[in-house]
Chains A and B, each alone.
Chain A
Amino acid sequence: MNNLRGVSENFSNLLETIAIDRDREAFARLFGYFAPRVKSYVMRLGVDEAFAEEVVQETMVTVWHKAESFDRRLAGASTWIFTIARNKRIDKLRREVRPELDPNDPALVPNAGRSADDAAEANEAAERIELAISALPVDQADLIYRAFYEDDTHRDIAQETGLPLGTVKSRIRLALKRLREGLEDLR
């Protein structure tokens, strides 16, 4: 647990160093860890290597340019980079822009009673989720994995596994419930 926390805090530190000092060495270290993973993620969703490396390139360039908008109170470093890679992939694949929330939108209804004062919050949550995923029963972990990393809709998963759609939905719901329970101590 402590090791895990160390790793995750480390990435947040690297992002902050990049934001403040424009530090290329910190960026190279972040690249060394995340580029191979982002590539692996994109390739699993069924594209060739060249496309995957273009997504990696665009993702990492965006990480550099947007590092100052990273806020460790709101998201872990892995989560932040995952959402950038996900959006780059969609934009590139479908030639459309994924609609995103704008946290500064005056029309955004604010969270009631949630303070982001606890700087460790998102990082701790990320670690809890990793632990909770490891603890999931195999059939649930498999469905979560397929849903996130194989670009399957619930309908696709039902077709491929031969499970009824309702079963797929309820297993994913159950898995997510367990993941959330892993987080609950924090809130």
Chain B
Amino acid sequence: MQGESTALRHHPQENVLVEYSTGTLHQAGSVLIATHLAMCPTCRAEVETLDAVGGALLSKIEPAEIADGLLDRVLSHIDETPETDATSAGTTPSTQASVIPRPLRDFIGDDLSSLNWVEDRPGIDRVDLPFGTDCIQAALFRVRGGGSVPEHTHSGNELVLILAGELTDDDGSYRPGDVAQADESVTHAPFVPCSDSCICLAIIEGGLDLDG
């Protein structure tokens, strides 16, 4: 059923997957990567291997001394009702056709059109997401069909995950599930090559200079 044509072509760089697996990556980046992983069996297998590296190191580490009463303390807690479990309490998609994987769906639901879009600039709408910080912009962008993002540079890493439609820059064409990655060395002006809008999740460290 899943032919060659559906395989993703643009993946995050390995160092981002390493930082995701080790837990160094910030929350915003982790939401994007976890969402990509749900859409990409290849990177999922990669992260499973990285997690196994973390597990293997656990068996090699010098054990620390444990306080005498800790086991008893733990045993006294295990009969209590477990805290609400994030894995079971999450959202389920409202329709069969939902395409937003859970790591992102828990924050935005699965109906992209019903979100509170505001105009960022003509032809581009934006929804700010709650996991952004002072230093990291986290937002959904909707670029109208045939529209483009003004040429811009980057002051830090930028991760963009396509959720719907298509986006094109010098490095190629990005479709749903694909990740476009850019850093200080990249100047680009991505555009939407078809008539459908492109919706993407963007995690931008240090912000963009769209007018620079």
Contacts and interface: CB of A to CB of B under 8 A. Distances in A.
Interface of A: 7, 24, 27-28, 31-32, 34-41, 43-44, 52-53, 56-57, 60-62, 64-66, 69, 74-83, 85-87, 89-90, 94, 96-102, 105-112, 114, 122, 125-126, 129-130, 133-134, 144-145, 147-149, 151-154, 169, 172-173, 176, 179-180, 183
B101 A105 contact: yes
A51 to B, nearest CB: 13
A101 B48 contact: no
Nearest to A112: B2
Interface stretch (B34-42, B118-126, B167-175): B34-42
B51 A82 contact: yes
Contacts, number: 214
B175 to A, nearest CB: 13
Given A61-B77, A151-B22, A96 B27 contact: yes
A178 to B, nearest CB: 11
Interface in B161-196: 177
A103 B35 CA distance: 12
B80 to A, nearest CB: 8
A76 B98 contact: no
Closest 5 CB pairs of A and B: A79-B55, A36-B63, A78-B55, A40-B64, A99-B103
B209 interface: no
A80 B22 contact: no
B63 A100 contact: no
B37 A107 contact: no
A81 B34 CA distance: 19
Count chain A CB atoms within 10 A of each CB in B35, B54, B85, B101 and give the residue with the most.
B54
Interface string B55-69: 111111111111100
Nearest to A175: B53
Mostly, the B contact residues are helix
Contact of A101 (B58, B59, B103): B103
B86 interface: yes
Contacts of A64: 74, 78
A180 to B, nearest CB: 6
Given A105-B38, A125-B52, A78 B59 contact: yes
A179 B50 CA distance: 9
Nearest to B71: A31
A57 B58 contact: no
B152 to A, nearest CB: 22
Contacts of A37: 58-59, 61, 63-64
B56 A133 contact: yes
30 contacts: A27-B75, A35-B70, A36-B65, A41-B61, A56-B70, A65-B85, A74-B48, A75-B48, A76-B55, A79-B55, A81-B58, A86-B23, A94-B27, A98-B27, A99-B27, A99-B34, A102-B87, A106-B93, A109-B2, A109-B41, A110-B41, A111-B41, A111-B45, A114-B41, A125-B49, A130-B60, A133-B53, A145-B57, A148-B22, A172-B15
B111 interface: no
A38 B58 contact: yes
A154 B157 CA distance: 13
A97 B86 contact: yes
Nearest to A122: B52
A126 to B, nearest CB: 5
Given A61-B74, A97-B86, A148 B38 contact: no
A87 B53 CA distance: 16
Contact of B51 (A52, A83, A98, A114): A83
Contact of A40 (B56, B61, B98): B61
B163 to A, nearest CB: 11
